[in-house]
Structure 1
Amino acid sequence: MTLEVEKILDETGWRLLHELQQNARLSYTELGQRVGLSLPSVAERVRKMEEAGIITGYHAEVNLTTLGLPILSIIRLGSFVGESCGRVAAQASEIPEVLECYKVTGTDCVFVKVVAASMPHLEQVIEQLSRFSIASTSIVFSTPMKNRAITHELLKRAEATQENLL
């Protein structure tokens, strides 16, 4: 962590970041009440976190089932001989049902998170993906944990692990 980031993420900065990760729609007034700062101080600290690249965006969480997309799956993609992982990722990213795409290490080269309205719809998406990659699909039954907040304790634990390895 750089000195600038350490300066921004003092104890109060971490508390602000935690609150925003839990609910990014909190007003600056509410945030200030929760962490003991004035509205201008909260606004300044949040602005600094954005400028430093700590906060990179604010997003609405969408209920896919309510929208008619109840099937969520993780599809692992390998590459055909001579096909690059970058090209597989680029082609997969063009499919609207692909919500997220990760280039990974191991026997597969890309993981994608896919939504579908029905099993035939999912089958169609898998067929699209299979045109340029070997696909292996896992259907998500439930999400026991989602979007864990990044905390100061997590960062300290990671740094301690790094120090023990040296």
Structure 2
Amino acid sequence: MSIVVNSQLDDLDLQILDILIKDSRTPYLEIARICHVSGGTIHVRMKKMEDIGMIKGTKLMLDMPKLGYDVCCFVGVFVDKNSSFSNVMDEMSKIKEIVELHYTTGQYSVFAKVVCKSISDLQDILMHRINTIIGIQSTDTFISLSQPIDRNIKL
């Protein structure tokens, strides 16, 4: 099943994105060879997708356990009132172990992904850094046991 992403993208753009989703380090000339177009065409298409905000740069994906960050968890945050939301987001953004922060619907106001070195580090982060933020009413923590799927959507 193919997903219509943006009316400004055509089949070649989607093919380029699929190649880059599989391996973002694929050289432009290799993409051009696979797509049967020139390297210049790939450069132009990439620039277009960057200009319209479809591609937001590149990032390095780290193997966190190999760096000593063995605990991954998700923290559901109850914010006490809407006026506290900005302060909560600002303060949580200062905690380096929070690697994702989402404003959500449903039970929680905010959902955070946290990586840390140990359960005792997690306890410290929760007790002394997250739960002390003014505006946080309470939190629920879910420890990830494994991550069997880690992928981008296929276009």
Aligned-partner residue type, residue 135 of structure 1: T
Normalising by the residue count of structure 2, what TM-score does the alignment of the two structures yield? 0.88
Normalising by the residue count of structure 1, what TM-score does the alignment of the two structures yield? 0.82
SS in 2 for 1:47: helix
- Taking the aligned partners of 1:137 and 1:96, their CA distance within structure 2 comes to 17
Aligned alpha-carbon RMSD (Å): 1.5
- Taking the aligned partners of 1:82 and 1:48, their CA distance within structure 2 comes to 38
Q: Which has the higher contact order (CA 8 A, sep 6+)?
A: 2
Q: CA offset at residue 148 of structure 1?
A: 2.1
Q: Aligned pair in 2 of structure 1 residues 81, 46: CA closer, same or farther (>3 Å)?
A: closer
Deviant stretches of 4+, over 6 Å: none
> Residue 80 of structure 2 corresponds to which residue in structure 1?
80
> Residue 34 of structure 1 corresponds to which residue in structure 2?
34
SS in 2 for 1:84: helix
User: Can you give the 5+ residue segments of structure 1 that lack an aligned partner in the other structure?
Assistant: 152-166
SS in 2 for 1:58: coil
Higher helix share: 1
User: Can you give the 5+ residue segments of structure 2 that lack an aligned partner in the other structure?
Assistant: 1-5
| Greater displacement, 133-142 / 82-91 | 82-91
Verify the 8 A CA contact 1:89 1:102 in the aligned structure 2.
no
Aligned-partner residue type, residue 73 of structure 2: S
Query: 1:100-157 CA distances to partner (integer Å, 9 max, x unpaired)?
Result: 1111122311111101101100101111111122111001111121132351xxxxxx
The percent of aligned pairs where both chains have the same amino acid is 25
- Taking the aligned partners of 1:120 and 1:146, their CA distance within structure 2 comes to 26
Query: 1:15-51 CA distances to partner (integer Å, 9 max, x unpaired)?
Result: 0011112211111111111211111111111111101
Verify the 8 A CA contact 1:70 1:115 in the aligned structure 2.
yes
